[in-house]
Amino acid sequence: MDTPLAQQLDRRQPLHFIGVGGIGMSAIAGILADRGFEVSGSDPRDNAVLQDLRSRGVRVFRGQSATTIAAIRSGTSTQPLVVVSSAVPPTNPELQEARRAGLEIAHRSDVLAALIASQNSVAVAGSHGKTTTSTLIASLLHATNHDPTAVIGGVVPAFGSNGRNGKGLLVAEADESDGTLVKFQAWLGVITNLELDHTDHYADLAALIGTLQRFGRGCEQLLANHDCPTLREHFNASHWWSTTSAEGVDFAAIPLELSGEGTVAEFHEQGQRLGTFKLPLPGLHNLSNATAAMASCRLHGVSFAELRQAVEGLQAPGRRFDYRGTWCERQVVDDYAHHPSEVGATLATAQLMVESGRSPLPEAPQRVLAVFQPHRYSRTAEFLEPFAEALCQADEVVLAPLYAAGEAPIMGISSHALGDAIQRQRPDLRVTVADSLEELADAVAERSRPGDLVLAMGAGDVNGLWGRLQEREDPLAMFPLAA
């Protein structure tokens, strides 16, 4: 940002987070408050995250205005450090006033880099599975009494929070979306996989590869997924893992049994079979995430016997196949999937539950109704056909209005365009396109059936579907002729 941040944070200097309620900002703010730093923040919202920060001693201002800067400067002899994320625009009144007052301003990534440099750390990067993998590493360390610190872009069930202050290894999610992860110099870097995304920031896959290569070179060791062809071709990792073969890799988990309620797999290390384990998270993508987590813990010195027991209690982070409840005999699940590969993996997991008749949900679903919200015009334009192909795995599709995330519209790109692409690929698949969130809930109520898994996917506001459905009556009363 405006000035580079020193490698170490000064405990005498107060910190003020603009947008402190954000999933990445709140984790750091809470940890620093727990460590005795004087921390404040501002946010227009008021929710459980902000209430938790207040209980930990963070001074939270409602709204964002220039007067907040005057308030945090009063009564202190040391000028505060102002922390922003990429989501804070240059026109933000607090940021403008902080600049006018000559305050030191740092990007969130600079503060996280200082935390990572302050203790042994694992930084988890990659196109997909970062939040889940970092959650699983932190959860395994916690379950085996290794007291981790965690800075993660999702709620970790084991902690009930996205951040935890501990004395052991620091586990951080390293987001590649804005390129700032190159600042992180961790004891262990982890890359889950790599394919083109964030086309608003990266011109092509080569640019993304270059950024992740810089990240890898900055880490003392690099653990990477050998099953990803891009990583195999372009990276020289210290350690590799796989879920397809134990040959030529340092760690492997070979599936013995796949079902809708989890996976039984055989764990190998340096070509030696250590034993089997049962993962309660279904899907091959989750097996890969768990293998990376177990490998990270083994490199840290956690025994396989401890891990084998701890794995059985693992839970995915919030918004990752997150069961919200049952509405009129329809089970509703919320998922953050917003890239074609993520949508495809999530739908494959859902269909595995249908086919196997086994599920971690209260009941195995009979059919999958996919509710998808495209996220960003640029991403939808780049991946229109791959999105359509992934969604063709569903038994029926309902599309929410495209979530712009601040982007300007692109001619010809919309949820209707995606619906047309699905119909071109699979004309027999029923696709409904909603033009508002209210219309979306009506469409789901009309098109769903008892026994359905209503799978809401997207990074926008589609996660509000569960609340909107709860406000509705039984669909048979609303739509007596519904199929």
- Give the residue numbers annotated as catalytic, written as ranges: 130-131, 173
pLDDT at 476: 62
Question: Which residue intervals of the chain bear CATH 3.90.190.20?
Answer: 322-478
Res. 473: pLDDT tops 80: no
The mean pLDDT of 38-57, rounded to a whole number, is 93
Decide if pLDDT at 451 tops 80. Answer: yes
Contact 261, 360 (CB under 8 A): yes
At 212, which amino acid appears?
Answer: L
Kindly indicate the confidence band of residue 1, based on its pLDDT and cuts at 50, 70 and 90.
very low
List the one residue out of 234, 239, 388 whose CA is nearest residue 300.
239
The amino acid sitting at 26 is: S
In this prediction, residues 22-46 reach a mean pLDDT of: 95
Distance CA(441)–CA(431), nearest Å, equals: 15
Task: Give the model's pLDDT for residue 201.
Answer: 85
In this model, does residue 481 exceed pLDDT 70?
Answer: no
Question: What values do phi and psi take at 372, rounded to 5?
Answer: -125, 140
Q: What is the mean pLDDT of residues 452-472?
A: 94
Which runs of E-coded beta strand occur in 149-220?
Answer: 149-156, 161-164, 170-173, 188-191
Confidence of residue 5 (pLDDT cuts 50, 70, 90): low
Structure tokens at 236: 């020289």
Q: What is the mean pLDDT of residues 64-90?
A: 93
Task: Give start-end residues of each CATH 3.40.1190.10 domain in the chain.
Answer: 119-311
DSSP 265: E
Question: How would residue 478 be classed by pLDDT, with cut points 50, 70 and 90?
Answer: low
**Residue 444 in tokens:** 């789901």
Percent of the chain scoring above 70 in pLDDT: 97
User: What is the structure's pLDDT at 479?
Assistant: 61
* Pairing mode, strands 59-62 and 39-43: parallel
- What pLDDT score does 483 carry? 46
pLDDT at 124 over 70: yes
Query: Looking at domain 15-106, which CATH architecture does it have?
Result: 3-Layer(aba) Sandwich (3.40)
- What is the average pLDDT across 438-446? 96
Pick the CATH number of 322-478 from 1.10.3720.10, 3.90.190.20, 3.40.50.300, 2.40.30.20: 3.90.190.20
Reported confidence tier of residue 17, pLDDT bands at 50, 70, 90: very high
Is the pLDDT at 7 greater than 70? The verdict is no
Contacts of 271 (CB under 8 A, 6+ apart): 246, 247
| CATH architecture of the domain with range 119-311 | 3-Layer(aba) Sandwich (3.40)
Mean pLDDT of 257-265: 95
Average pLDDT for 94-122: 96
**Cα-Cα end-to-end distance for the chain:** 55
Indicate if the pLDDT at residue 20 is higher than 80. Answer: yes
Tokens linked to 186: 């961790």
The CATH 3.40.50.720 domain(s) of the chain lie at 15-106
The model's confidence at residue 297, banded by pLDDT at 50, 70 and 90, is very high
Task: Return the amino acid letter for 74.
Answer: S
Q: Is the pLDDT of residue 3 over 50?
A: no
The CA-atom distances, in angstroms, between 366 and each of 202, 329, 335, 340, 468 are 40, 11, 19, 24, 23
pLDDT at 415: 98
- Whether 422 contacts 456, CB under 8 Å: no
Question: With 80 as the cut, is the pLDDT of residue 477 above it?
Answer: no
Across the chain, what does the average pLDDT equal? 94
- How far is Cα 95 from Cα 89, in angstroms, rounded to an integer? 8
Radius of gyration from C-alpha coordinates of the chain: 23
